[in-house]
Chain A
Amino acid sequence: MNSPVKPALILAAVGAAVILVPLAAPPYYVTLMLPFMAYGVVLLGFNLLFGYTGLVSFGHALFIGIGAYTGAVLTTRFGIRHMEVILLAAAVAAAVAAAPVGALCVRYVKIYFGMLTLAFGMVFYTFLLKFYRLTGGDEGMRMLRPYLLGSEWAGFNKTAYLVGPYYYFSLAVLVVATLLMWRIVSSPFGLCLRTIRDNPLKAESLGIGVSRYRWHAFMISAVYAAVGGALLAPPIGNVDPTLVYWTHSGNVVFMVLLGGFASFFGPLLGAFVFIFLQDTVMSVFPYWRLVFGAVLAFLVICAPGGLMGLFARRPVPLEPERG
């Protein structure tokens, strides 16, 4: 088995590097870290549903969109600029939306669950597109620069704001989200989710109500997605319906597969590699989706455990099933 020292060292090194990025790296790369951190929060929640509960949502962009639009609506329509309030409101809005959607979706599993979540995502997409007065239609809405910790940071221009205070604010949110999620997956609740992922029939016979637990996991993952979505909005500056389109949900699934859903930190690695790979590939080759499609095919066939699966040694070798 791996000693606990090594992962702790790696984590500390990564943490130090992330803290130092704004001081050492060119601003362009620092701004690329912002979507990474926002997606990091989204994926932590997404993987509670996928890696720990065994449900693949193809509509998670719905909740990213709810978070991002919450920020845009609050800053432009209501003049509420405090990011802490925006994050809280995004979480509440997502929970309100996820309660009925989740209650319906968790009755289904596998492809049916995926398709149903996709359908709800597309319903919201159409709503954003068609209710022009409310949402700005396909042009979307502006996301005004939010206040952080009660301060406007008026002395900072846009880039300085993003690579300075906003960077560290995002990092703090990601760290808190990670610690909370670590608690959740290590709790009795997390254990029950894993029993459901492995064998729902057996879980029920042990008195673990499958639908109820799936619903709770769905709610938590929706709240995470909305918080991540709200974090994503200020660097973009303008939120539009493509945030909710199903290909965006597909990106979320792709990031998790890339990093590895079987590992707690896999999704974070996936988000990081996705963002930087996308940036690199787009700059040299216009058909970046072609490259990413090939990467996805390669992953599914050759490395179903994702990048983390390539690094991690399994404590016990997998044995072929015997009859």
Chain B
Amino acid sequence: MILEAQDLRQRYGAYVALDGISLTIRENEFVSIIGPNGAGKSTLINVLTGALPPTEGRVRFKGRDIGGIGPVALTRLGMARSFQLVQIFPDLTVLETLEAAVVSRLGRGLRLFASLRGDRAMRAEALEVAELFGLATRAHVPARVLPQGDKKLLDVASAFTLRPEIILLDEPTSGVSTADKHAVMEILVAAARRIGLRSIIQVEHDMDIVFGYSDRIIALHQGRVLADATPDAIRADARVVDTVIGRGAR
């Protein structure tokens, strides 16, 4: 297993956001986390990515405790994330955004007098990722003028550029039109394969996407794991269908 959470509890005063969650993510798995609003998904993501130390319990990534270690240390260990609300650098071009990720991965950020333009290998790598994500034709466009779907792709692409072993995607298709959702997912999955990503965790509301791409689905409800099984088994689970998916939807 690559990521493991043991009996996570998170309290905000009297409110219990996570009430004893245990889960494991194995290599070469695409796992989706689903649940109604207030189920604890956002808190769980923050704990799994070391942004928030759990009140109780442990998160281990490759055997190391990553509770509250923060984003910078997390990326060094090999885990990356993207955001539900798209996060980009508005005034940086697509290429600059990806180059920044390459700089960070190679630990060259404190080279004060090195030439960015002169580093062909770095630029080539950034361009390669831009191509994987279909952003190459817009490489020199500032991120702020990209269409919403491309902004979302750029957010994910820059995380992929870190060449993480595992990536956590927070609603990768939110804000993307229904027609484009599958195209976005196809790009993500293909890029993951090319980059050699070992596992993907996504939090997603769109059940088409969840059932279409997951190896395993973890359903949360009121801060607990309601079900943790294959898509087929989840579909057949009456409790999950009632509380999370909804009878009309599937």
Contact = CB atoms under 8 A, between A and B. Distances in A.
B112 A195 contact: no
A188 B103 contact: yes
Nearest to A317: B145
A167 B101 CA distance: 43
B33 to A, nearest CB: 18
Given A188-B103, A207-B162, A202 B114 contact: no
A195 B90 CA distance: 9
Given A205-B75, A319-B145, A192 B113 contact: no
A207 to B, nearest CB: 3
Instruction: Name which of A209, A213, A318 has the most chain B CB atoms within 10 A of its CB.
Output: A209
Interface stretch (A6-14, A34-42, A133-141, A179-187): A179-187
A199 B88 contact: yes
A189 B87 contact: no
A195 B87 CA distance: 11
Interface in B99-125: 99-101, 103-105, 108-117, 119, 122
Contacts of B148: 322
B91 interface: yes
Interface in B156-198: 158-159, 162
B109 A201 contact: no
Interface in B44-76: 70-72, 75-76
A208 B87 contact: no
B108 A207 contact: no
- Interface of A, helix, strand, loop or mixed by DSSP: helix
A191 interface: yes
Contacts of B152: none
A188 B76 CA distance: 18
B72 A316 contact: no
Nearest to A207: B75
Contacts of B83: 201-202, 205
Given A203-B100, A321-B144, 4 more contacts: A192-B109, A202-B155, A205-B80, A316-B142
21 contacts: A180-B113, A186-B116, A186-B117, A188-B111, A189-B112, A194-B91, A195-B89, A197-B91, A199-B87, A199-B88, A201-B83, A202-B83, A203-B100, A205-B87, A206-B80, A207-B75, A207-B162, A208-B109, A220-B112, A319-B145, A322-B148
Interface of A: 180, 183-184, 186-192, 194-195, 197-199, 201-209, 213, 216, 220, 316, 318-319, 321-322
